[in-house]
Amino acid sequence: MISGTILAVLIAYLLVLLAIGLWGSRESQSIQGYYVADKKLPAWVIAFSSNATGESAWLLLGLTGMGYMVGVQALWVVLGEVLGVAMGWVLVALPFKRLTDRYQSITVADFLEEHLHDSSHALRILSAAIILTMVTAYTAAQLTASGKAFSSFLGINYTTGVIIGTAIILFYTTVGGFKAVAYSDVVQGILMFAGLILLPTIAIVESGGWTSMLNKLVTIDPQLVEPMGRQGLSVDGVVAAISFLGIGLAFLGAPQLLVRFISARDEKEIVTASLLAVVCIVVFDLGAVLTGMAGRTLFPDLADPETIMPILSDQLFPPLITGIFFVIVLAAMMSTVDSLLILASSAVVRDVIQKTFRSTLSENRLSKVGKLVTVIIGGAALITAFAEVRLIFWFVLFAWSGLASAFAPPVLCSLFWKRTSREGALAGMAGGFLAAMAWVLFFKEAYYDLYEMIPGFLVGFILTIGVSWIVPPKHPTDVHG
């Protein structure tokens, strides 16, 4: 039976999102307005938006489920993400913002093409192809979380839940553009922040306190409190820890996060946002892992570990708070899907239609085309999500690694090494992407399940640097702006 209280909370939340979408519509009538909010976002918006986008339903369902399954070992993920976010803001954000402002960039491909003097548009075309491939898979995994959330909290059919979640996202994203996406991310990020303080705290108290929780985990399985997990200090255990640490590498160059730096009002906002972003990611990730660990002691025999968060919120709180936690799960999913849809749409409209094909359509017409493309991409992801991807944690990491392996090596080399060439960037982008995909398909199982982003990054950097040495740039570029 559907709870009227939970339903009321859900409706209130969705009305807020719709209002934000309508509010943002005035600035979505041009390409720059629709895709980067006219570059007017303040520090607190880009900080929350960046983290909310980077975490997604992977955080609330996937990482809590990982904490449930492996216990203390999942803290390697926390360390990796905190280091990744810190390095992204400290090393990348400011020089990237400076150069993208100089080049009047709207997309990451704008930056690469201008910085590396690519008159052939090859970087744009390759960038768009990779983004469209990965965004469909990434978005489908998030929409799967929507179906799981509706099913767990309201007892609604999985397919119906996916459709409802998709419809809401498509409305405020197409109507309000990036401004609506960023400000809805703030609402969603604040909800996630509060929820990931409250839920693990109450769950640990219900487990009898910190010491009692750890003792119960030992009783269930002694490996749950071992830093290296059930593999111990072995090759398997070390590779697992390295793989978890490697998850944070994406924060150095995933395009959906780099766009946040482009959209900042100015360089001062970048500096102000960095500390808030790091504090936020600590609370997000640590709260998720501890929720899973405490949940394991309270509900030790779940068939699907990724349902521990909705089960805890339903069993430990009254319907009003449960409804808020339902909204938090949706918020995590929506804050990523909206950004992915905007990213993919910008790749098609800005990088292909406007720049590669040199469309003569007006800014207003192009923004309308962008909205149509957003809906089409969302529809494709919706169809894929009907298959119900079971393990959100790993499916999201697959897409996360593909995007980051393609973009981080050429972007970082472009920022910090003036010998980076167009040919090197093309090789690094293609090679990093293909290496990550090939690792999953052909090598991962035979090599201790090493996370695919690590070989993807290695190949991406080796090719970017190696090919740039062989084919140096005709016009060496400045670094650090």
pLDDT given for residue 426 in this prediction: 98
Cα of 424 vs its chain's centroid, Å? 26
pLDDT given for residue 158 in this prediction: 79
Name the least confident of 65-69, 329-333, 455-459: 329-333
CA gap 88, 480 in Å, rounded = 14
Tens digits of residue pLDDT in 24-68: 887 788 889 989 999 999 998 998 888 877 776 678 878 999 999
Q: Are 313 and 74 in contact (CB under 8 A)?
A: no
What architecture does CATH give domain 4-392? Up-down Bundle (1.20)
Tens digits of residue pLDDT in 76-135: 999 999 999 999 999 999 999 999 999 999 999 999 999 999 999 999 999 999 998 888
Task: Return the H-helix or E-strand segment holding 58.
Answer: none
> Which whole number is the average pLDDT over 69-76?
93
Tens digits of residue pLDDT in 313-324: 989 998 888 888
Q: At what angle do helices 43-57 and 392-416 cross, to 10 degrees?
A: 140
> Which whole number is the average pLDDT over 307-333?
85
How far, CA to CA in Å, does 300 sit from each of 10, 135, 311, 357, 382?
Answer: 29, 34, 12, 57, 33
Position 392 confidence tier, pLDDT thresholds 50, 70, 90: low
Averaged pLDDT score across all residues of the chain: 88
pLDDT given for residue 2 in this prediction: 60
pLDDT given for residue 389 in this prediction: 52
Q: State pTM to two decimals.
A: 0.88
Residue 264 DSSP SS3: strand
Position 141 confidence tier, pLDDT thresholds 50, 70, 90: confident
Q: Is the pLDDT of residue 175 over 90?
A: no
Tens digits of residue pLDDT in 348-378: 999 999 999 988 888 889 988 989 998 998 8
Joined together, the tokens standing for residue 337 give 């899907």
pLDDT given for residue 5 in this prediction: 81
Report which of residues 427 and 249 the model is more confident about.
427
Joined together, the tokens standing for residue 433 give 């992407």
